[in-house]
Structure formats: C-alpha cells, structure tokens
C-alpha cells in the first residue's frame, strides 16, 4: 500500500511553519483587536470584497488568505496546508512553494471576483445584496496545494478522519466535484465562496501540470 507519512527534519518546513504562525496571529488579532471598541474592523480592511464594493482594496487579494471565520475554519485549512503542503515544499524548495501557494490564492480570489462581477452585470439581486459581504480564508490557496499533491501522487493513500484509506486521486475528484456542484448551484444560504475553492484548484492544476512537464522529474 503506497502511503505518504512525513518524517525527518523537514516534517514542518520553513514556509509551512511561517504560514501557520502568520495565520494564527491574524486569527488572534481578529478576535482581540476588532470591533467598535477599537474603531477598527479587520474584515473591512483585510478580507476580500467585490470590486464594486466601497470596501475593496487591492491588497485584499493577498491579505484575505490570512483571515478566517472561526476556529474550525482555520484548523481545517492549516491542517490541510501541512498535510499536503509539507511534501511539496520539501520537493520544490521554499521559493517555488511560496510562489505556487500565493498564485493559487490570488487566482482563487480573481475567479470569485469575476463571478461576482458577472452576476452583478446580469442584475443578480443576490450578488447585489452580498456586495459588502467579506470573503476570507486560505481555502483557495490550500485547494491549489491539494490538487498539486493529488496530481503528483495520485495513488498515495490518504486516511479520511485518520481511519478510512482512500487514494489521493479519488479524494481529489470527489472533493473538486463536490465544490463545483455547489458553486454551480449558487445557493444564497451556502455562505461559502465555492468559486474561490474551484479557482484555487484550477490554478493549482494548471501550474503543477506545466511545472511537471518542464522538469519531468517529480
């Protein structure tokens, strides 16, 4: 049974470790230095807003990746980042991994904003009502990392809930199909930026596809 279990000195490589620290610091700041009492809202400043919103700022394409909604949100993203990202950083090195991670995150944000713009152009009442709703989380970047891992190690077994073994390729197909299905449904009660997830996965796949073709050694 082909399995990947990180071992050795680089079980927590440099970029992964720094991303974990920065995300945790942002999360603590969100929950301690935020709100009317300090006349400052982290979400308004650093979370992602639609181009058409008065709250949109260019740096949000980058900073939204360090914001999270609750403890479960940040825990899930950071766990997936470590599980699937550690081997990629060990293989690619810190510079390439960092570039890959942020390109996936920014690509995810741009696809989400593009969908919002399309909906607003077509007079979507739902999109207009949510124009100032912030989008936050590292999920788009993390989806790119997951897809890269799935593409490079399709037959590696991943343990769902640390118990049920499943090959990475089937997990990737199921997970991506799930996100695409709900993105197309566009449910107003969903509360999740599904197109950002899809965007991160698509950008991740394109990048790792050409990266593998270029080097042909992973």
- Short-list 30, 119, 112, CA closest to 66: 30
DSSP state of 161: T
**How many domains, in total, are found in the chain?**
1
pLDDT at 129 over 50: yes
Looking at the domain assignment, is residue 27 inside a domain?
A: no
Least confident residue range of 15-29, 80-94, 98-112, 152-166? 152-166
Give, rounded to a whole angstrom, the gap between the first and last alpha carbons of the chain: 20
Query: Which band of pLDDT confidence, cut at 50, 70 and 90, is reported for residue 8?
Result: very low
Query: Which band of pLDDT confidence, cut at 50, 70 and 90, is reported for residue 189?
Result: low
Query: Which band of pLDDT confidence, cut at 50, 70 and 90, is reported for residue 136?
Result: very high
Most confident option among 30-39, 66-75, 121-130? 66-75
Please give the average per-residue pLDDT across 158-184, as a whole number.
85
What does the pLDDT read at residue 123?
Answer: 74
- Short-list 86, 69, 110, CA closest to 20: 86
Looking at the domain assignment, is residue 54 inside a domain?
A: yes
What does the pLDDT read at residue 99?
Answer: 96
**Burial of 53 per CB tally in 10 Å (0-12, 13-18, 19+):** middle
The predicted model scores a pTM of 0.88
What does the pLDDT read at residue 1?
Answer: 39
Looking at the domain assignment, is residue 196 inside a domain?
A: yes
Least confident residue range of 117-126, 174-183, 201-210? 117-126
Q: Domain of 150: which CATH number?
A: 1.20.1540
Looking at the domain assignment, is residue 168 inside a domain?
A: yes
The whole domain housing 149 covers 46-215
pLDDT at 5 over 80: no
Helix (H) or strand (E) holding 166: strand 164-167
Looking at the domain assignment, is residue 138 inside a domain?
A: yes
pLDDT at 202 over 50: yes
The 3-state DSSP class for residue 143 equals helix
Looking at the domain assignment, is residue 76 inside a domain?
A: yes
Looking at the domain assignment, is residue 41 inside a domain?
A: no
Query: Which band of pLDDT confidence, cut at 50, 70 and 90, is reported for residue 2?
Result: very low
Looking at the domain assignment, is residue 1 inside a domain?
A: no
């Amino acid at each position: 049974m082909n399995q990947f279990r990180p071992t050795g000195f680089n079980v927590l490589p440099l970029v992964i470790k720094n991303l974990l620290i920065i995300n945790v610091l942002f999360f603590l700041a969100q929950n301690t230095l935020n709100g009317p009492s300090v006349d400052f809202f982290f979400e308004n400043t650093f979370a992602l807003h639609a181009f058409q919103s008065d709250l949109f700022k260019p740096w949000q394409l980058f900073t939204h990746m360090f914001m999270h909604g609750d403890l479960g949100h940040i825990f899930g993203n950071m766990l997936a980042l470590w599980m699937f990202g550690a081997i990629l950083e060990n293989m690619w090195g810190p510079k390439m991994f960092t570039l890959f991670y942020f390109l996936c995150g920014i690509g995810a944000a741009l696809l989400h904003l593009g969908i919002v713009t399309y909906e607003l152009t077509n007079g979507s009442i739902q999109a207009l009502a949510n124009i100032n709703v912030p989008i936050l989380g590292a999920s788009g970047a993390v989806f790119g990392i997951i897809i890269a891992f799935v593409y490079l190690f399709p037959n590696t077994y991943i343990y769902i809930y640390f118990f049920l073994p499943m090959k990475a390729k089937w997990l990737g197909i199921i997970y991506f199909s799930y996100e695409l299905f709900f993105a197309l449904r566009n449910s107003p009660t969903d509360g999740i930026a599904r197109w950002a997830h899809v965007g991160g996965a698509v950008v991740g796949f394109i990048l790792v596809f050409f990266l593998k073709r270029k080097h042909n050694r992973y």
